[in-house]
Structure 1
Amino acid sequence: MSDDQLWLDEESGPLVRPYAMVHGRTRPARPELDVATQLLTSWSGADRSGISVEHEEILRLCVRPMSIAEVAAHLDTPIVVAKVLVSDLIDRGDLVTDKASRQAQRPNRQLLEAVLEGVRRL
């Protein structure tokens, strides 16, 4: 029996449950993360010791920008598990997000209303 077969039971699914991957944590340290938050591996965090296989996989996946939803799909885990793992990597400096740039690029409501009003006048 191969190693892959040892960790998968056809009837019950993976033998390592999602809560075990995150040591029972159910809330990410960064509640501002949402499913569309884009992630990118930061090469500034050179020390990769002490991280799990799932953390390593996230770092490999995020060499190109990827959303938390995509990470969860690739890992075949619930979104909350992906968020907890991603939070760990952000706190270590191994991942960066686009959150600050997305907030800076949001137009304000008054500007949008003024544009809409201008279009209506046409």
Structure 2
Amino acid sequence: MRGDPAGPHDWLDSDAGPVVRPYTVTGGRVRPTGATFDLLAFVVAKAPEGTDGEAPLQPEHRRIVGLAQQPVSVADLAADLDLALGVVRVLLGDLLAAGLIALYEPPASAAHPHDDILKAVVNGLRAL
């Protein structure tokens, strides 16, 4: 103890707020159940915010449903929630299984650039 006014723990930062480990938020799970979530996939809440589901939701689940009232990408959700992408994917898997969100995957690109075009771009960059 240092005797400072912050309290007995010098590692505690009052500006940081509550600290919860990611594995606590996901219950130790590291992969979402069911679907995989692309970074560019859009998530939309099916139920209006404030509608109670059958199961009680964690605060992180409620925040996702609140943010997803308008279409939002998985990457943006992770940034807005300030959570690791893997944690957000697990939470989205829970919400998808509960039927509280809809997921819209981006269409797969059918046409990839030809090798000659990529080589020309690399050669152009090297010339700079």
> Given the two structures, how large is their TM-score scaled by the length of structure 1?
0.69
Partner residue, 1:52: 58
Deviation of residue 51 (structure 1)? 1.0
- The residue type equivalent to 2:79 in the other structure is A
Larger relative helix fraction: 1
CA distance in 1, matches of 2:54, 2:64: 12
Deviations 1:63-102 (A, max 9, x none): 0111111111111110000000011001100000112xx3
Q: Say which of 23, 26, 31 aligns to 2:27.
A: 23
Partner residue, 1:5: none
Identity between Structure 1 and Structure 2 (%): 27
Summarize the Cα distance change of 1:59–1:108 in structure 2 as closer, same or farther, 3 Å threshold.
same
Q: Say which of 5, 9, 12 aligns to 2:12.
A: 9
Whether 1:32 aligns to 2:36 is: yes
CA distance in 1, matches of 2:102, 2:22: 23
- The residue type equivalent to 1:84 in the other structure is V
CA distance in 1, matches of 2:110, 2:89: 28
CA distance in 2, matches of 1:71, 1:65: 10
Q: Which runs of 4+ in 1 moved over 6 A?
A: none
Aligned-CA RMSD value: 2.8
SS in 2 for 1:97: strand
Partner residue, 1:78: 84
SS in 2 for 1:96: strand
Structure 2: unaligned runs, 5 residues or longer = 1-10, 115-128
- The residue type equivalent to 1:61 in the other structure is L
Deviation of residue 107 (structure 1)? 6.1
Structure 1: unaligned runs, 5 residues or longer = 1-7, 114-122
SS in 1 for 2:43: strand
Summarize the Cα distance change of 1:107–1:86 in structure 2 as closer, same or farther, 3 Å threshold.
closer
SS in 2 for 1:9: coil
